[in-house]
Amino acid sequence: MGRAPCCEKMGLKRGPWTPEEDRILVAHIERHGHSNWRALPKQAGLLRCGKSCRLRWINYLRPDIKRGNFTREEEDAVIQLHHMLGNRWSAIAARLPGRTDNEIKNVWHTHLKKRLEPTKPATQQAPKRKQPKKQQQPPQPASEIVMLDDPDTTAPVSPEQSLSTSTTTSTDYSAASSLENNAADSFTSEEDYQIEDSFWSETLAMAVDDSSDSFGMGGEDASGAPAPSANDDMDFWLKLFMQASSDMQNLPQI
């Protein structure tokens, strides 16, 4: 087949993006959109491959990106959505406005997966760091990017902005524990650990609603054409999940 390498690695820059590159990319996308990622770097005068530009935009420069630590609600949503969807990070990201698949993936691998590991006591999950490093200060120029309405932004924004607005500041990973662990801990240490019913009903309702049109791919799948079996699968997992949830609430506290 002879697929051309994504970046014909001649003279193309790699590694971390500079603020200047960010600025150029944002300015170009503001002006011209990103209909063709492959051609974009040339048009914008960037020595990057299109893939790299796309990744940078999606994961970092998009105006609707929400920076900062995941809230407890978001983490729990990730856990539950992962239950339902597996490693389909983009589908999970579509449910979490402002969060990217990459970010969710990172959080999953660094925190949430460990939480769910049953063999390790929760006490081991205490972080070494008291404060996450970069999250506090807004990343480079993204903060100063003032976008008008970007028609190309495929923000999977949905009614549950409540999710994203409930910014209960930063997540305290030391205190946080999974639903499972919490069940085991009898929720004791978490006086305020109580997911509102409305949260889950919203989240789940969304899952149901979306599965009827373009499930999971929210804004990112322009075609919005899910696999024929997606709805069935979704129903299955949804039922399974809801069953599991109700079972969990009935668990005897250990």
Partner DNA sequence: AACCTGCCCAACCGCTCCTGG
Partner DNA sequence: ACCAGGAGCGGTTGGGCAGGT
Buried b (16+ CB within 10 A) or exposed e, 180-200: bbbbbbebeeeeebeeeeebb
- Contact string (CB under 7 A) for DNA, positions 184-213, x = contact: ------------------------------
Among 8, 10, 31, 35, binds DNA (CB under 7 A): 35
Which amino acid, one-letter code, is at 223? S
Among 10, 11, 45, 128, binds DNA (CB under 7 A): 128
Among 135, 162, 166, 231, binds DNA (CB under 7 A): 135
CB of 251 to DNA, least distance (A): 28
Among 102, 166, 231, 245, binds DNA (CB under 7 A): 102
- Contact string (CB under 7 A) for DNA, positions 225-244, x = contact: x-x-----------------
CB of 220 to DNA, least distance (A): 4
CA distances in angstroms from 91 to 87, 101, 127, 134, 215, listed in the order given: 9, 8, 28, 26, 8
Phi, psi of 21 (to 5 degrees): -65, -45
Contact segment (CB under 7 A) with DNA among 32-40, 155-163, 187-195, 242-250 equals: 32-40
Burial (CB count within 10 angstroms: exposed 0-12, middle 13-18, buried 19+), residue 74 = buried
Contact segment (CB under 7 A) with DNA among 179-187, 200-208, 223-231, 238-246 equals: 223-231
* Largest separation between any pair of C-alpha atoms in the chain: 62
Tell me the number of residues near DNA by CB under 7 A: 56
Q: Is position 110 an interface residue for DNA (rule: CB under 7 A)?
A: yes
**Which pairs with CB-CB distance under 8 Å and at least 24 residues apart come from 128-133?**
132/69, 132/170
C-alpha 173/C-alpha 182 separation (Å) is: 13
Among the listed residues 54, 44, 108, 117, the one whose alpha carbon sits nearest the alpha carbon of residue 76: 108
Where do contacts with DNA occur on this chain (CB under 7 A)? 1-4, 6-7, 13-17, 35-38, 50-52, 54-56, 59-60, 69, 87-91, 101-103, 105-107, 109-111, 127-135, 139, 173, 217, 220-223, 225, 227
